Every structure is written in C-alpha cells, then in structure tokens.
Structure 1
Amino acid sequence: MSTVVAVLGATGGVGQHVCSAFRASGDRVLGIARRPSAAGSALRLDLAEAAPAQLAAALTAHRTEIVVNATGGWVLSAEAMHLAHVQIVERLVAASTLMPDPPRIVHIGTIHEYGPVPAGTLIDESRRPEPQTGYARTKLAGSQALLNATAAGTARGVVLRAVNVCGPGTTSASFLGAVLDRIRDVRPGDRVPMTIADARRDYLDVRDLTDAVVRAARAPESTVGQVINVGRGEAVAMRQLVDWLLAAAGLPPDTIDEQGAAVQSKGGDWTRADNRRAARLLGWQPRTALDASLRDMWHDAARRYSEA
C-alpha cells in the first residue's frame, strides 16, 4: 500500500520536485498550495490563513503519514519572513498535535541558520546557530519550533539544513535565477553589467536535495529529532557559478561586466556543509555536478520561455 505524502508549498521551485520524486516512487502525493496548478497541487489551502484545526482535518482526511514543509523562500519584509518561516511551521506543529496519528514532518531549513562562519570552515551540526540576518533568524525560529515540539513528544520532525540550490525550476528571486533572467535574451558580443559577491558558497542541485527529503521521510525512527546538513561539501566562487551558467547559454565569460558595489546576502560569504551525518543516517550523497545542474537549469528555462 502506498504512503500518503503531503507537500506544503507544492507549486514552489523545490516543492514541485519533491512532489514528482514521491510520485515516481509510487507514493500518493497531496500537494498543498495557496494557488493550485498543473504542477500537482490537489488541495487549495492558504497556510498563512488556515487554522491548525483546518490543516489537521485535511491531513487526517487523506490519512497523511508524511508531511514535507517546502514553504518559504526569498521573501523580503520582516512580516513576510515571520509568516513564511515561523508561523506556518508553528501551525503545522499545532496541527500535528490534533491528529490521531501524527505524521513524520520533514522540514527544509537552511545552512544560513548557523550564521556567518570563518572562511575554510566545514559546517557540521554541532555548530551553535548564530544567525545575523532576518532571513536566517526566522528560518532558525521555524526549525527550532519543530525541534522543540519533537523533543516534547508533540511532533515527529526532522530538519534538513540545506545549502543554496540550483537546477531546473530555480526561482528568479534567487541570485542564479536572476542571472539567468538577465542573460536569456543576450546575444554574443553584448555586455551585461552585474554585481557579483566576492564569496564562496555551497550549492546543490535541487534534485539532490529532493533525494535527501525522500530519504529523510523513509529513514528509521531514530532520525526523528535530528538536524541534518545537506550540501555538496564544496565552497564554490560565485563568479564560477555565473561562468558555468554563461557556458550553458553559449556565451563567453566576458559577457558579464562586473560592477563594484555592496551585495546583500541572506547569510555569510562562506558556506560549506559537512555531509557526514547525511551519509550516515540517510545513506545520502550528492550526485549532480554543478556545471551539469546549471546546464539543466538553462535548458529548462529555455523550454519554458519557448512555451510561454
């Protein structure tokens, strides 16, 4: 008998891949989103407005066994970040206490919850989180709400602290998504002024993140309550990522005319995740090379542009 998996944020860049992965493995997927679409959302529910009892009733009616929280994203205002990253998680936790059989909850957090670290640091789960930005602080608050409820026995959660993602469907609100939008109509010989952070960050293909989510959903009960970092374990220069995306578009590196300016970041200038716990507990490892991920990201976007 197939497992029923509810995916919150089912129409988002990560949520769509999570829905597809569980369907491919034979599970029944209940996609939940504010605006249902052909991407696979079966239940229209505004999680920013829904009371815990309403969410609990919906999950119970579908006999949900696993919930993946893929909501949130690159929202800007303090109010929007609190709503997307904290309040929705608190409502999900409250809903689980109202269910006769509480589901396992896989929550997608972020490596930025640890805050800035010195260059060269390999970030493992023993590091004390000290976030410095509104984005990172609210993401940590959401993760902590689930971890606290799990410790108290009122929820069954696993937190994946993921690095930045790339690959097919990457949102335009992200740095690489914004770069893709700016170069999509560029012709050879054109120059595009752009500010690129002098930073090195860990990036992961969205399909590798999705694989970690599926594994966390199926992992032994001993993984409940765990924080697990998910990344490639490599700190890559931002300019290198841009050059790979340019190559995928058939453009030379000098297409970008780098401009000097301050760059706002959701986290620090260095991220490199320690993957050893993910390997040990989930049997997970990244499989997609970043240059291949960015090629797929470009070709997926080109297909969508042509169909629009």
Structure 2
Amino acid sequence: MRSGQRSGPRRVAVIGGTGWVGRHVSEAFERHGHEVLVLARGAAPWTRGLRFRALDLVAAPVRELVETLREEQVDVVVNATDGANARDGWKRTEAEFTAANVDAARRLVEAVATLPGRPRLVHIGTVHEYGPVEAGVLLHEAVEPRPANAYARTKLAGSRAVLDAAREGAVDGVVLRLANACGPHPSPASFPGMLLRLFRDAAAGGEAVVRVTGAQLDFVDVRDAADAVLRAATAADAVGRAVNIGSGVAVPVRTLVAMMVAVTGVPSDAVREDRGPATRLGGDWVRVDNRLAARLLGWRPRFSLEDSLRAMWRAGVTGSRDAPDRGGLPSR
C-alpha cells in the first residue's frame, strides 16, 4: 500500500470508459465495491448505473484534466482510450493516431503527476507495440519493440510516456499490453465484433462470409483483461513495468471460426470462407508470455476462448448488459 492511499474502496476514473475494454473495466471496479467515474466524450446507455462526466482526452488541456481529477479526488486513473476504435474508425492518419495515442497520454501523465496522493495510473497498451514476430516466438516483456505501422508506433510512444514518467518517479504508473480482446459486447470494428454480426445474420437465415487467413493469434477475454486492470491498480511491484496480458495460447483464426459455429449452432454450410487479404493491426503470429502478470499481479486468464465466444454470443443475441460468466470476475 502506498503512503497516502486509503485501504478501503477507491475512487476510480476510467477514461474511455464507454469503449469495449473500458466498459468491462468500469463494471469490474464497480462490482468490487469501488466508486467509478466514467470519463468519455459521450455517455452510453449502459453507463446509467455509473457516474459519468463528459471529457475528451484528445482535446482536453492539462489544466482541465487536473481540475477534473482533483475535484473527484481519485485514487486510480485508468487510461482505456485508443486511437483505433469503433467511433473514429481504424483507418486513420499517423497524425490522428499521434494525437489520440501519444499527445493525450503525455498530457494525462503531466496531469496525474501534479495530483496529491500519487494516484495509480494504469495505462492500457497493446501487444501490437512489439510488432510482428516469427511464428513460435513467445512474446515476453524483454522482446525489443519493433512496431510496423502507425497505430503500433503511436501506442508504443504512449506507453513509453507512462513508463518513463514512472521510472523517473513522477507518476505511479503501470502499463498493461493486452492481446487481441474477445468476449461480450465487442467493438463492432473488431474481428470478434465483425464475427458476431456475420453470425447473427447467418442465424437469421443469411450467410456468414468470413475472411479467414493462416494467422494464429492470442485472444484474451475482455473480462480477464478487466481483472488484470483491477489487480494492477494496487500491485506495488508493477510500478514502472509493462506487463503482457494474454491467454498464452496462439489459436488459428480458422479454429476460432469453427468454435463460433459450434457455440452459435449456426449450420456450417451457412458459413463461407473468404480467403482474400485481411487488414490487421498486428502480425500473423501472437502468443503472449503471461508469467510476469502471474508474478506481479497474481493474474491468470480464467475464461477459455470457447467461454469467451459463448458469452459474446449470448450477450449479442439477448442484448443483456452482462452475459453469464460462471459467477463473474474472481474475488481478489
């Protein structure tokens, strides 16, 4: 426990809390008894049970950030914003990615550094910051980042802004680099979101034409990712560290599609492969080494990919706020 930080429920600001990951992070903190403030450009229907304040991290000056966070007396700040998202699109210019992923992160670091009580800053990055690696490589934190596109380069720069400030003692910061997310309420622009839409169409009597490649990727359930953020909010030994969060399994995309067929009950003849080129933010092989997360955060993935797809389908079909997940996130 850091000096000045209270030991009971915390006041948590989730910036970008209306996004896919941010939503689950907000709900995880609330479920564990913390007071959650969602900060985003606009409210979402599901935020009605949480406190919300409008704030655009990309546009907000440092003074506005400081005033907002100081007024709310936050103990934890989670940066769940991302330049590649459903609202703004995934095909953006390097300048747009820089504004969202780098400049905003640097202003947030500057703001948090001025706050009393040294609130914990948990910055959500991505394993795409490492860039493509050869098939078979286990992606651990000592791998030298070699980002291959504007999105990955700017995400890496944003993560480094947090890590540099933490190592200099300016902020109490942690970076979590997430693998490809999967699970309930996906962003429509993500591969799971696209898959959900196609399979809903197929279930209604249409056809799902899925672009399948030979890629093998690590998918982490978004609820497991939220649990990692929850743990990083208090993990003393994680300060100044980048920690990879993934399932530790590289799954062929074709296998994932076959799992989706089994989970949904959609007839296999209603699913057709499109073998054209696919646009992704990362390479064709991702398998995360999650041993540091186990050691520093006490975190391990709980949900299998089949669990994740089943919960995504249930939530997508019923429209429920929370898909059944075998009892929710584990207690800490």
What range is the shorter-chain TM-score in?
A: over 0.9
For 2:210 and 2:303, locate their aligned partners in 1 and report how far apart those are by CA, in whole Å: 27
Match of 1:135 among 151, 174, 189: 151
Match of 1:89 among 105, 124, 146: 105
For 1:192 and 1:2, locate their aligned partners in 2 and report how far apart those are by CA, in whole Å: 46
Contact 1:219 1:282 in 2 (8 A): yes
Contact 1:116 1:132 in 2 (8 A): yes
What amino acid maps onto 2:41 in structure 1? R
* CA positional deviation for 1:190: 4.9
Residue of structure 2 in register with 1:236 after alignment:
251
* CA positional deviation for 1:188: 8.0
Q: Deviations over 1:171-225 (max 9, x none)?
A: 11101211211221224875433321210000011010111110110112x3210
Match of 1:257 among 243, 250, 272: 272
Alignment partner of 2:202: what SS? Answer: coil
* CA positional deviation for 1:31: 1.0
Alignment partner of 2:233: what SS? Answer: helix
Query: Cα distance 1:67–1:189, how it changes in 2: closer, same or farther (>3 A)?
Result: closer
Contact 1:10 1:41 in 2 (8 A): no
TM-score by length of 1: 0.94
For 2:251 and 2:298, locate their aligned partners in 1 and report how far apart those are by CA, in whole Å: 24
Q: Deviations over 1:20-48 (max 9, x none)?
A: 11111111111111102342351111112
Q: Give RMSD over aligned pairs.
A: 1.7
What amino acid maps onto 1:175 in structure 2? F
Matches within 5 A, 1:8-87: 8-37=15-44, 38-39=46-47, 40-72=50-82, 73-74=84-85, 75-78=90-93, 79-87=95-103
Residue of structure 1 in register with 2:9 after alignment:
2
TM-score by length of 2: 0.88
* CA positional deviation for 1:155: 1.6
Say if 2:138 is the partner of 1:122.
yes
Match of 2:283 among 268, 274, 289: 268
Match of 2:193 among 172, 177, 187: 177
Identity of aligned residues (%): 44
For 1:92 and 1:44, locate their aligned partners in 2 and report how far apart those are by CA, in whole Å: 16
Stretch moving more, 60-69 or 247-256: 247-256
Match of 2:312 among 282, 293, 297: 297
Residue of structure 1 in register with 2:183 after alignment:
167
Contact 2:112 2:121 in 1 (8 A): no
Stretch moving more, 118-127 or 191-200: 191-200
What amino acid maps onto 2:36 in structure 1? V
Stretch moving more, 293-302 or 247-256: 247-256
* CA positional deviation for 1:130: 0.3
For 2:268 and 2:100, locate their aligned partners in 1 and report how far apart those are by CA, in whole Å: 37
For 1:135 and 1:141, locate their aligned partners in 2 and report how far apart those are by CA, in whole Å: 10
Query: Cα distance 1:80–1:243, how it changes in 2: closer, same or farther (>3 A)?
Result: farther
Matches within 5 A, 1:207-222: 207-220=223-236, 222=237
Structure 2 residue ranges without an equivalent (≥5): 1-7, 321-332
Contact 1:48 1:88 in 2 (8 A): yes
For 1:178 and 1:275, locate their aligned partners in 2 and report how far apart those are by CA, in whole Å: 27
Alignment partner of 1:76: what SS? Answer: coil
Match of 2:303 among 264, 271, 288: 288
Query: Cα distance 1:178–1:41, how it changes in 2: closer, same or farther (>3 A)?
Result: farther
For 2:126 and 2:102, locate their aligned partners in 1 and report how far apart those are by CA, in whole Å: 13
What amino acid maps onto 2:189 in structure 1? A
Q: Deviations over 1:68-97 (max 9, x none)?
A: 111114432123322221122111011112
For 2:198 and 2:51, locate their aligned partners in 1 and report how far apart those are by CA, in whole Å: 30
Match of 1:196 among 196, 205, 212: 212
